[in-house]
Amino acid sequence: MNEISEIKIDNKPPQERYYTYAYLDEQTKRMIRRAILKALSIPGYQVPFGSREMPLPYGWGTGGIQLTAAIIGPNDVYKCIDQGADDTTNAVSIRRFFATVADVATTEDTAKATIIQSRHRIPERPLQSGQIMVLQVPQPEPLRSLEPRETETRAMHAYEEYGLQYVSLYENISAYGRIAATAGYPVMIDERYLMSPSPIPKFDNPKLDMSPAILLFGAGREKRIYAVPPYTKVRSLDFEDYPFETQTWDEVCALCGSDTSYLDEVVLDDQGNHMFVCSDSHFCAERRENGHLGPLAGHSLAQKSDDSNANRVLQEGIAK
């Protein structure tokens, strides 16, 4: 019960000693932990929780950060990605936050991580048993774009009335000849709760189904936590005559040659030239280390984006 004295007394600079382990006070952690357990007990159901203001803005991963803060311990190895990459600025910022407030080891290696926090992607390397995937969620309610009122959507989930969602998908088919959702594609959890998988591309949806890892979803601003336990059925909505399908590319990754990963398009100039590279930066780097070469292998983007390098390229970019 002696929580106020739970202040770090180590050799950290003084300004960092004012905060408790993993930033949140113990009462807040307990509240989040209770919400996580109920979320795991009712897969896909959105548990309301007393989300707190974090030192990062709402919309920038506060739900994921609060989940991580409630579960992380000094024995964890933490990986944080944004758009699949470890070196995007917001991922760097969040990773640095936990390295500071939770004395935790960090990694870019998906296989070595015990907690993987992510915005918009699931890593290409299959998740393993014992890993926890924490996804940042801007809008937890899959029905929100169809019905703005929380009182209505909560009732729809309570009585399993998902007709509106199917109608909307069907309208897509009439308009475009196929289901138009490309990211944040709605899924059904254990055939009961309709759930937003967060804005991951639908390419990643199959990775959720029967995953051996614990999947936690946190929406800080909307104050909701939900979860999918390991080995749980996650079905992407579709119709018999319009089955669910994922994205495919005609190109391979220009750097590592992968033809199975999600690709980002990189604009090379204003003449319409572009290249495609793996969105999962660690997956791509690992393949290159193992000798896989793409058609543009050796391009400056393939250089390891450590800080000094990123900074150098940045300066070059400015000089040009």
For other proteins, the closer CB: 46 or 291: 46
Nearer to other proteins, 112 or 312 (CB): 312
Tell me how far the alpha carbon of residue 18 is from its chain's centroid.
29
- Helix orientation angle between 62-71 and 26-41, rounded to the nearest 10 degrees: 100
Separation between Cα atoms, residue 318 and residue 300, nearest integer Å: 15
Q: What is the number of other CB atoms lying within 10 angstroms of the CB of residue 64?
A: 26
The nearest distance, CB 31 to other proteins, in angstroms, is 7
Selecting among 130, 284, 291, 298, the annotated active-site residue is 284
* Minimum distance of other proteins from residue 169's CB (angstroms): 14
For residue 57, report the phi and psi dihedrals to the nearest 5 degrees: -70, 155
Instruction: Indicate if 80 belongs to the active site.
Output: no
CA distance 281 to 81: 9
Beta bridge partners of 188: 194, 235
CB of 55 to other proteins, least distance (A): 5
Report CA dihedral (21, 23, 27, 30) to the nearest 10 degrees: -80
Q: Which is nearer to other proteins, 167 or 314 (CB)?
A: 314
Is residue 253 flagged as an active site residue?
yes
163 or 291: CB nearest other proteins? 163
DSSP code at position 129: T
Active-site residue among 130, 256, 272, 291?
256
**Minimum CB separation from other proteins for residue 13, in Å?**
14
Active site residue 44: yes
Q: Which residues are the active-site residues?
A: 44, 253, 256, 278, 284
